[in-house]
Structure 1
Amino acid sequence: MRITFAPWGETLAELADAARRAEEAGAEIVWVPELHRSAAVAAAALAQATTTAKVGTAIQLAFTRSPMITALEALDIDELAEGRFILGLGTGVQRLNESWHNARWGKPVGHMREVVRNVRHFVANAHTGDEIALEGEFEPMNIRGYERPHAPTRTEIPIYLAAMGPAMTRLAGRIGDGWISHELCSPSYLAERILPEINAGLEKAGRERSEIDLVVSACCSVDEDPQAAFDRVKAHVGFYASVRTYADFFEFHGLGEAQQAVIEAFRAGKGADYLGDVVTQEMTDAITLNGNRERVIEQISAYEGIADAVKLSAPTHGLSAAEIRKGQDEVIGLIAAIKGGTQ
């Protein structure tokens, strides 16, 4: 099972430096999200800061760009990374797409299927000058008289799909080169809720399990003082527990009442980043990695045999920049201890 990492930085320079240090520690992929930064720009920065680790988006929003722009960005980043880029795509939620980006939502599974098809086709053929004529309900693509004058580093760039719900997870099994979990995903949830849907998608497409890379995301708080590790991650859990959309996830872990307490505190006026005092140790233990190095390494080992890679990230919600840096340094040190790299 591979160890990968999602770096944090207050500036792009700090983000790139954290990725470089994680690579030296032994991280095999460094990932960037899309919310406060453009995933494509951040990935380009990491591509130039690293030399051996793959660089991936986890995730880039699929519906807020045209598939052609997504494909062009992927080709450019893959060139910068010398063939190390992974395009991770996700839908985001409906309100984000429609209200923030004025983007079409429609039927997410069908829409995502067409985006992936178009990106793959463009990456493979844009340099040939051949006509591109793809029909579709959401993303028809008709391009004539176009020839990209830059030779692609690769004509196939891996596309991973982020998915939590069953239909999108099955789609990842059908068409994805990889699957990326939500930031909170326990071994039991992965085994009992995610893998059956992945396998159903694989079976539908006549694919083997070896044809998809499963990347589980794990928020990780490491400290020799267990209380400090808990204190650093509890607001992160509170942030996600405040979202009613995740009710099934928390109910699965027997945390329905605990989540409801967080929701009530949120409704009473507490900010989403500052709900940690309502979060219990039981909640953090169920859905995050936290404790000293030995305990966290044991928690990581629980994913063996069901995930192909773990994407570690330090908690960020409700913390100052200095506190996030300390937590991130601890995670990079953990990676070095596991992989034998340098810290």
Structure 2
Amino acid sequence: MELRTSISIASACSPMSSAVLLWDLQAVSDGRFTLGLGSQVKGHNQRRFSFPQSQPAPRMREYVQSVRATWDCWAADVPLYYQCEHYQFSLMTPNFPLDLLKRPLQKNQIAAVGPGMKKVAAEECDGVMLHPFCAEKYLLGRIFRNIHSEVDRSGKKRAEFEISGGGFVAAGENQQDVDAIFKWVRRRVGVLWIYSILLTGARSP
């Protein structure tokens, strides 16, 4: 059994704060923790999290790298030094971490919709989490093709790169359970459809 975040909003928390919390989760789960990160759209970042919207994919790349650099500092007892455009870390007090944990960040994944974020996932992570509002034809065709291409370019093996999400599944012990979940799925799809129209300014057919 694994413990994972699915997803933790990166824009709502500093990479350093995330690294501390994730370290504890890795210890509690005895090394079975998977970090799942995601970005957010402009409206949520600015008005919900009071976070500036700028270059989501490059910022996410640095977020993953800086969390890893912080963990390396603690696990390998090396100086913390990470300097990039969006995040800079160069100070670590000697009393962190409180509990020694000789386990690196085993697995990390990010949520991805656009090609830029999929590229970051392939190059920096062990997997990608896809948006549930996704048609089967689009998923099996364009999205999988794009992800596999990026994974191949990164030098990783496809079998070792986890792809999750990308659709809704209505399941249950009996038909009544399935019907209840299906009703929820229909409502969720409707909300996401309206939301996508508002974001893009598109017109419903």
Structure-1-length-normalised TM-score: 0.53
Give, in whole Å, the separation in 2 of the partners of 1:207 and 1:62: 25
Q: Is the 8 A contact 1:83 1:153 kept in 2?
A: no
User: Counterpart of 2:150 in structure 1: which amino acid?
Assistant: G
Identity of matched residues, %: 25
Q: Which one has more relative contact order, counting CA pairs under 8 Å at least 6 apart?
A: 1
* Cα distance change of structure 1 residues 149 and 224 upon mapping to structure 2, 3 Å threshold: closer
Q: Is the 8 A contact 2:139 2:166 kept in 1?
A: no
Equivalent residue number for residue 213 of structure 1 = 162
Give, in whole Å, the separation in 2 of the partners of 1:202 and 1:233: 31
Equivalent residue number for residue 157 of structure 1 = 106
Equivalent residue number for residue 148 of structure 1 = 97
RMSD: 2.6
Q: 2:71 aligns with which of 117, 123, 133?
A: 123
SS of the equivalent of 1:203 reads helix
Matches within 5 A, 1:1-343: 53-146=1-94, 147-152=96-101, 154-222=103-171, 224=175, 230-244=182-196, 260=204
**Count of matched residue positions in the alignment of Structure 1 and Structure 2:** 200
Give, in whole Å, the separation in 2 of the partners of 1:103 and 1:208: 35
- What are the superposed Cα offsets for residues 172-230 of structure 1, whole Å, 9 maximum, x if unpaired? 11221111111233432222121222123223322221231111254333452686665
Q: Is the 8 A contact 1:183 1:219 kept in 2?
A: yes
1:111 Cα offset (Å): 0.4
- Segments of structure 2 that go 5 or more residues without pairing to the other structure are none
Q: Is the 8 A contact 2:75 2:103 kept in 1?
A: no
1:74 Cα offset (Å): 0.8
Give, in whole Å, the separation in 2 of the partners of 1:153 and 1:128: 8
SS of the equivalent of 2:170 reads strand
In terms of Rg, which structure is larger? 1
- What are the superposed Cα offsets for residues 211-256 of structure 1, whole Å, 9 maximum, x if unpaired? 31111254333452686665443212111111126999xxxxxxx9
* Cα distance change of structure 1 residues 57 and 145 upon mapping to structure 2, 3 Å threshold: closer
Q: Is the 8 A contact 2:69 2:82 kept in 1?
A: no
SS of the equivalent of 2:100 reads coil
* Cα distance change of structure 1 residues 219 and 199 upon mapping to structure 2, 3 Å threshold: closer
Give, in whole Å, the separation in 2 of the partners of 1:163 and 1:110: 13
* Cα distance change of structure 1 residues 110 and 245 upon mapping to structure 2, 3 Å threshold: farther
Structure-2-length-normalised TM-score: 0.85
Give, in whole Å, the separation in 2 of the partners of 1:66 and 1:172: 19
- What are the superposed Cα offsets for residues 35-57 of structure 1, whole Å, 9 maximum, x if unpaired? xxxxxxxxxxxxxxxxxx21111
Give, in whole Å, the separation in 1 of the partners of 2:128 and 2:80: 28
Give, in whole Å, the separation in 2 of the partners of 1:70 and 1:200: 30
User: Counterpart of 1:64 in structure 2: which amino acid?
Assistant: A
